[in-house]
Each structure stands twice: as structure tokens, then as C-alpha cells.
Chain A
Amino acid sequence: MQTTKLIGRRVAEPQATTGQPSFLRLMLRHRALYLMLVPGMLYFAIFKYVPILGSVIAFQDFNIFKGILRSEWVGWKWFEQFFHYPQFTRLLSNTLIISFYQILFVFPAPIVLALLLGEVRNMAFKRTVQTILYMPHFLSWVIIGGLGYMLMSPQIGLINQAIVSLGAEPVHFLQEPGYFRTIIISSSIWKEMGWNAIIFLAALSGISPSLYEAAKIDGAGRWKQLVHITFPGILPTVMLLLLLKIGHILDLGFEQIYVFLNPITYQTGDVLDTYTYREGIVQGQYSLTTAIGLFKSVAGLLLLLIANRTSKAATGESIF
């Protein structure tokens, strides 16, 4: 936001630079630096900004042979069609529910873990635990999907072995819509809990030990120290990460959902991203799925701005 202000000022007061070398002279003197920026800027232009401009096909009846320039304009047709589409409610509610569960369960898990790790005195034990818990972050979703398929397999999986040994019938976890969201949430926690704790651990170590000393002298127990020192100490970090998470509420990580999803679990697991992939890339419905993507991006931006405002008002923390 500051950037725009800065540009405005420069345009409004060109005489401000008269005391210094002119803009052109500066450009020339630093031409090597500007030259270095060219490949990177080309990348952002071609792969980030051209697609943003290309999103106009959401308002066209885009035909790959006619191209953007000659395809017919249809206004909000695709948006209207999508919003009235019988599956729209299912896609949006699946997306929002899974996202809501992520914020409710996946987001706090690393905070709790960091608090627990922060209490460990034995350094060797702490390092071992960290090494093991960070590791799944580096496994791909396909591999984790593979581990999950094996673990939950009705014939050979460890979980069903346990269920059968307790005398119950084996459960087809991956073929039951009722289990889909639980699988997504628990695999998210499994993969990222350890890794995401790193940032909170850093925030914890940033709290001055003298605060705890002072609290102890005042007779505060461990619980009171937690509530009055630790929580306020990590609040800025928590709020910042929560804000970013809210901005991505419609983005669930395609790779994770897609690896566990099958037609039987569409009912609870088909989300905007997986639908876009099937209808757009596989079926070639370019305009409709671009409209969905644009809806997602705009909603994400608005959510981020709203969350940022709210957080600024409520806790004083904000991204910009």
C-alpha cells in the first residue's frame, strides 16, 4: 500500500529530483542492475501477469481456435451458470468446510506442539523429536497418499488389522464419503505439524526470559505464566499466520485432496480446485473453469483484506 503512495508522490512532484542526478542518468548508471532484473521480470510477466490478463476468457465463449481476440463476449454468463449450477453448493461447502476444519484443527496443532517442545529440558530428546516430526514435510503428497492407502487398506492395512482384531468388520475408509474430511485433516496434521511448529518455536524463543523470572518472583505458576507471558508473546506470529491462512481459505492444496479423492467421495471431498482440473484441463471447459478460478482469486483477496482489517482493529496485528 505504501508503494502506491510513493509512486503518486514521484509523479506529482517531478522537481523533487532536481538536486540529484536525473532519473535517466540513474537508470544509465545502474543499467547492469536493471539488466539483471529483466529475466525475472519476464518470468513474472509471462507466467503471472499474462494469465491474470488472460482471465478475461471468463467473460468470453472462449474457443481455442479463435483465440482471445476473436472469441465471443458473453458477459457474466459463466458466473451465473456456475452459481446456479446444482453442484455449486456442494463444491463451495466442501471447500469451506474442509478449510474451516483446517483452521480449527490443523492450524493450532503446531502451536500446541511448539509449547510442549518449549518445555523440554533434555536437549538430545528435543532434537530427536524435532528431526522425526519435521521429516514428513519433505515427503510428497503422492507418497503420503500411498502410505495412507496401505495403512487404511481393508485387506492388509494396519488400521483394519486392529479393527478386525477387536472383532469388528473392516472399514473401507477411502470408499466412504464420511471419512474423507477426517483423512484430509489428519494427513495434514501428520505432514505439517512438526514443520509449522518451527516458526512458533522461534517466536517462543524471542520472549525475554526476564519476564518469566519476574513472574516467578511475583508468585505466578506455570499456567499463569502461559496465559500472561507466553500467549501474548506469540500472538503476533499466530495472527500473521492466521491472516495468511484466511486469505487462502478457498485454496486447499490440490495435490493433497486429489490423491485421496475418487468418484465415491466426491460428495464430501470434491472441491473447487479438483472440479476445475476435471472440467477445465480434462474436459476443456476453459471459460467456465476460468470463471471459477477468478471467483476464487477475487474472494481470496477480499477475505485477506477483511481479515487484515479485523485483526488490525481487534489485536493491532496486520500484514499491511
Chain B
Amino acid sequence: MKTRRHPGEVAFDACNAIVLALACVLILLPMAHVLASSFSSNNALIHAEVGLWPVGFHFDNYMAVFRNEMVWTSFKNTLFVVAVGTLINMVLTVLTAYPLSKSYLRGRRVVLFVIVFTLIFYAPIIPTYLVVKSLGMLNTLWALIVPLAVSAFNLLLCLTFFRSLPEELFEAARVDGMTEFRMVWHIAVPLSKPIMFTLMLFYAVQHWNNYYSALLFITKHDMRPLQLYLYTIVAQNNVSEMLSQVTEASTGMSPQGLQMATVMVATVPVLAIYPFIQKHFVKGALIGSVKE
């Protein structure tokens, strides 16, 4: 085998590295620009002087965002939905996946078909809306939680993982007189930590980012989650309430600056934990692909 590499190959590797580096720049550029703008003075923004570094550095935009009560209210709503929603998701997903992972369970295939069918044929949105409405959930945070209580896709991920656990363990526990419910909690869940962690993250991110449900089910301002409030600020340019709340003259503030600061405030929590959880996500995505 030759050890010296062909000049063509060296050129290819160089081009490849450049293309990939360029892709990374394209991902980071918009974020860097918005971050820089959120710290820049109104004057600099209007004259389009802000590139990737703040001009006329100040915190006024962020001060206004944090002083805004609606930001806190919607943030609290989102926290509730993420915490309670994810808990309900996990309990229901594990409880449903565990029996379905037992190959000896009669009727298992019928139940599985019932679940998989919802992935290829789904109900129109209006009847779903009417169900939520008739359950009296409109304008409550439960409307953001209960209709998304189980994801069929995540359920299948969990099921695939449970199926790989050795049945002998459960047999032994059964001989010792352990109930099935205790087996789920003391054997299945601890042995499936990687997938449990991944599913928790999938569900939590889904709740954090979801604004469609809120758009459908929430009209009361106090019940809005962060993403819906952010939507009114970004797409409907609804910053007047923030601007009006500030009594003292803050020279640096501007509608665009406020929008950017709010976007950053909603982005940072996700970015802050992302590096630590990335590998679990990738694992989850791979388990998903094996399932196919």
C-alpha cells in the first residue's frame, strides 16, 4: 500500500474541510449577528453599523426584557409545561412500552397496530380541537400537556430498547414474587437509563419549543407559554408593552433591539445545556433509525 497520498486526494480533503467550515459559519453567523445587535445602541442599529460585534454596548434591551412581567409569566408557564408534561410523558411511555415489549403478551400486535396507525393516518386538527374544548381544557396549561401525553414515535423507541433486556432477569424477579409494576420501576427503567435520558430530552425540548398547541388552545394572555409570547413579539412586532413599561429614559433601547434580546433570552437556555446533552440525542436518533 502506498503511504504518500495522491495530490488529488489532498486537494479533495482541503476542499471538503473548507465546505464544512463554511457550513458552520452559515449556522453561527445569524446568531452572532442577533447577539451583537441585542447589545447595540439604537443609533448603531438604525445606521446599520452592527455586524458581528456590538456597537455602543449596553444592557438596556435586556433590562427591559427582564423587567417585563409577561416574559416572566410566560416563562413560568413554559417551565410548568416542560416539567409536568415531561413527567407525564415518561410515565405513560414507559407504562405502555413495557407490556408491549413482552413477546408473550396476547393481543400485543393488535395494540401495536393501533398505535402505529396513528403515525400514518392522523385525525384532522379541528376534531382534535373540539375534543380538547369539550374536555374543558381550553385556556389551561393542560391543553399543552395532555393532548401530547404520548408520542407514538418515542413509544416505539422505548419499546425497542425494552425488548433488548434479557427476559431471564424478569423471570427471576417473578419467582421472587416481585409485582410487574415494581419490575418496571426497579429493573426495566434502571437498565434503560440511556434511552430514558434521551426520551426525557426529546419530550422536554418538544414542550419547550412548541407554539402550535398554544396557538390552537390558548387565547388568554396570562396562559401563553414563552414561545407564543415570543411569536407575538417577533412576527407581530408587539413590543409596545415592553417599551411603555420602561419609565426612565433608556436611550439605547429600540424595538428591534428588544426583539433580538427576547429571542436571545429564549435561545440561551437551550444553547446552555445543548453541549452536555448532544451525545444522548444522537444516541436516540440512532436507535430510531435502527427501528426502521
Interface, chain A (partner B; CB < 8 A): 2-4, 6-7, 23, 26-27, 30, 32-34, 36-37, 39-41, 43-44, 46-55, 57-58, 64, 113, 116-117, 119-121, 125, 128-129, 131-136, 138-143, 145-151, 153, 155-156, 158, 160-161, 164, 190, 193-195, 198-199, 202-203, 222, 237, 240, 247, 254-255, 258-259, 262, 276-277, 280-281, 286, 289-290, 292-294, 296-297, 300-301, 304, 319
Contacts and interface: CB of A to CB of B under 8 A. Distances in A.
B209 interface: yes
B27 A190 contact: yes
Interface stretch (B62-70, B98-106, B244-252): B98-106
B191 to A, nearest CB: 17
B211 A40 contact: no
B243 interface: no
Given A156-B37, A156-B46, A290-B124, A3 B110 contact: yes
A161 to B, nearest CB: 5
13 contacts: A4-B113, A23-B106, A37-B111, A54-B127, A125-B17, A129-B20, A140-B210, A143-B266, A148-B30, A150-B33, A259-B234, A281-B126, A290-B124
B128 interface: yes
B123 A198 contact: no
A247 B23 CA distance: 29
Contacts of B30: 147-148, 150-151, 158
A128 to B, nearest CB: 8
Contact of B106 (A30, A140, A161, A296): A30
A41 B260 CA distance: 43
Chain B contact residues: helix, strand, loop or mixed: helix
Nearest to A200: B289
A34 B275 CA distance: 40
Interface stretch (B8-16, B79-87, B192-200): B8-16
B51 A247 contact: no
A319 B146 CA distance: 30
A199 B120 contact: no
Given A44-B150, A129-B24, A199-B285, A150 B260 contact: yes
Given A33-B102, A116-B19, A156-B45, A142 B231 contact: yes
Contact of A139 (B93, B106, B270): B270
B92 A133 contact: no
Interface string B119-140: 0111111111111000000000
Given A3-B113, A55-B124, A36 B95 contact: yes
Given A36-B96, A36-B99, A119-B16, 5 more contacts: A7-B110, A36-B180, A140-B208, A198-B282, A198-B286
Contact of A158 (B33, B205, B235): B33
A258 to B, nearest CB: 8
A270 to B, nearest CB: 15
A259 B231 contact: yes
A222 B19 contact: no
Q: List 9 tightest A-B contacts by C-beta distance, closest first.
A: A293-B124, A40-B96, A51-B123, A54-B127, A140-B209, A51-B127, A33-B99, A32-B180, A146-B263
B50 interface: yes
Nearest to A7: B110
B271 to A, nearest CB: 7
Please indicate which of the listed interface residues A135, A146, A153, A164 has the most CB atoms of chain B within 10 Å of its own CB: A146
A139 B278 contact: no
Contact of B28 (A53, A132, A258, A300): A132
Contact of B48 (A131, A160, A294): A160
Contacts of A51: 123-124, 127-128, 130-131
B96 A297 contact: no
A109 B265 CA distance: 30
Given A131-B278, A147-B34, A37 B106 contact: no
B234 A149 contact: yes
Given A34-B99, A113-B23, A195-B285, A296 B124 contact: yes
A222 B278 contact: no
B203 to A, nearest CB: 13
B289 A199 contact: yes
Contacts of B234: 142, 145-146, 149, 259
A153 B256 contact: yes
A215 to B, nearest CB: 14
B239 interface: no
Interface in B157-197: 179-181, 184
B147 A47 contact: yes
Contact of B127 (A52, A158, A222, A296): A52
A135 B128 contact: no
A33 B181 CA distance: 8
B256 A48 contact: no
Contact of B114 (A44, A116, A150, A247): A44
Given A117-B20, A151-B30, A156-B45, A138 B274 contact: yes
Contacts of A151: 30, 33-34
Given A147-B263, A156-B45, A50 B24 contact: no
